[in-house]
Structure 1
Amino acid sequence: MATKREQVLDAAIEVLGTGGSRALTHRAVDQAADLPAGSTSNYFRTREALLCGVAERLEQRDHADWTAMHRRLGPLTLDHLVDALARFITHASTTDPTRTQARLALFGESQAMPAVAESLQRGHGRLREQAIELAAQVGIGHTDAAILVDYMDGAVIHRLTGADHGKDPREALERLARALPGNRS
């Protein structure tokens, strides 16, 4: 069960992801969370604090999804890695696009708010390191794994904007992963 703070942040993600950054106000979050007026302000006094909280909550939810989607037994293979990355792309762009849209709105906000940029970078860095650790298990080095993660970021954005809507990301991921040094088979 979510805490009230998490309830506020989840509502903020919903507001930000469906209405964009201009729609995100303390009052709008209170309404979306079905909480009394002023509740959001009790947890996050400023807009910047709310946006930092959203960035951190997005990371928590992404980490939970990543863990749930990729729990499995046995050694990791390149095919398993590609499947896992493709599932994550599909999830981020179709199962929970509101959350991904909220993250994109945060990137815009981060241009004027260094604390938001730091929160986003910290969260992205942690998720990136998880992907790099998985890639290392199949012989993909740090630099090459970062290329896979960058591709994933771009694929999610393209799918959200309709450029690759409905296209299975697995084929391109597999071609890219197999083209990386040490993975030609």
Structure 2
Amino acid sequence: MAQNPERRTALVDAAIEVLARDGARGLTFRAVDGAAGVPAGTASNYFANRNALLGQAAERIHVRLRPDDATVAEMLRTRPEPSPGVLRHELTAMYHRLSAERTEYLALLELRLEAIRRPEIRASLTATMRDNLEQNIAAHRESGLPGDDTTVVLLYLALSWLIVENLTLPGVLDGYDADGLIGALTELVAGR
């Protein structure tokens, strides 16, 4: 198996682009090679099979969605005292940042659908998503922001679906302001 980590990352990034653009059925080694701009047959040298590529794409999506360490450090350095208002502000900022990552979210939706049919993808994606949720819960505990673990799960579910709704069927929420919805949600689950 080929061992160039930069090329492997480029191939996984290309797979994410293909997933978002063409769906899981369009994800072939040939399509990934084309999207990465590498010679035909390159992806098959790096991944034993399509499932291995899908699993690594699931892990990589979260790396791409996560803010870099410098951004997180700056946010923590300048964060005011924990309050529902700070929580609302951070959730709103997160919503806008993640909504801008259309490719990653569409690819993640394709992976979720593929996980229904493929147990090995389900196991990999479940582990990745569960780890992401646990990291969010731990960060919330450490932050001192209002709400408990259940609050974090409720906010995670609501924010995730708000992003999905706006990416896939934006007309459903015409007339509703996402920032206002996030504010109302924060008040409902985390108090004033």
Q: Please say whether Structure 1 and Structure 2 have the same fold, judged by a TM-score greater than 0.5.
A: yes
Deviations 1:97-127 (A, max 9, x none): 1111000000111112122112222222222
| Residue 138 of structure 1: how far off its partner (Å) | 1.4
* Structure 2 Cα separation of the partners of residues 17 and 166 of structure 1: 27
What does 1:8-87 align with in structure 2 at a 5 Å threshold?
8-64=11-67, 68=71, 71-72=74-75, 73=77, 74=79, 75-87=81-93
Q: Deviations over 1:40-84 (max 9, x none)?
A: 111112111110010011122123459736742244433232222
In angstroms, what is the RMSD of aligned CA positions?
2.3
In the alignment, structure 1 segments of 5+ residues that lack a partner are none
Residues 1:157 and 1:126: Cα distance change in structure 2 (over 3 Å): same
- Paired with 1:143 and 1:124, the residues of 2 have a C-alpha distance of 16
- Indicate the residue corresponding to 2:133 in structure 1: 128
Superposition pairs for residues 98-113 of structure 1, below 5 Å?
98-113=103-118
CA displacement at 1:28 relative to structure 2 = 0.4
Give me the TM-score of the superposition, normalised by structure 1.
0.86
Name the count of aligned residue pairs.
181
Greater fraction of residues in helix: 2
Shift of 1:129: 2.3
Which amino acid counterpart does residue 144 of structure 1 have in structure 2? Answer: T
Identity, in percent, stands at 30
